[in-house]
Structures are given as structure tokens and as C-alpha cells.
Amino acid sequence: MAVTTLTSREFNQDTSGAKKAARRGPVFITDRGRPAHVLLTIEDYQRLAGGSMSLAEALAQRGVADFAFEPPRLRKGIFKPADLG
């Protein structure tokens, strides 16, 4: 995983280059020589955040052969009988 560091000015001048670099690894964006922001792909962010994803999001991932998917549990009483009257 490659780590890239860009100044705020470099980031502003070449946003598409920063996005391409983020595919290889995190991109640190500095303000006055200090790291201020990090640019990640959404896949890297979700992996770090550990957030849950929908089945559609999980299936839309590219290059991932296997993934963990835990659908939310439904609460009792959510289903009602059909009203045929």
C-alpha cells in the first residue's frame, strides 16, 4: 500500500491525480507542512469504519471475492396479516 503526501495547493491543482493515488493507498493532505486531511477510497473508509453496508453495496464491490454481510434483525410484530375484507 503506497502512502502519498500532497500539500493543499498540490491537491487543489490536481484533484484527479490525488484520487488516482488514493486507489493505491491513503493520501495525506498537508496544511502548512502538517497533515490535516486524509483521502481514502470508499472501500478503504468502510473497512476502517467497520460500518455496515447494504447487500447492494456489498455486491457492487469490485475485486472482492468474499465479504462479510450481516443483515439487520427484524423486530417481532413487524409483519401484519393481510386485510382481505
Residue type, 22: A
Mean pLDDT of the chain: 82
Residue-wise pLDDT for 35-76, tens only, equals: 999 999 988 887 887 766 666 777 777 776 676 666 666 666
Which is more confidently placed, 23 or 60?
23
Per-residue model confidence (pLDDT) at position 84 = 77
Question: Whole-angstrom Cα distance, residue 48 to residue 34?
Answer: 22
Q: What is the mean pLDDT of residues 2-22?
A: 95
Taking CA atoms, 31 is separated from 35, 51, 80, in Å, by 6, 29, 57
Set out the domains of the chain in order of their start, with CATH numbers: 4-60 (3.40.1620.10)
Residue 32 has pLDDT above 80, yes or no: yes
Per-residue model confidence (pLDDT) at position 60 = 77
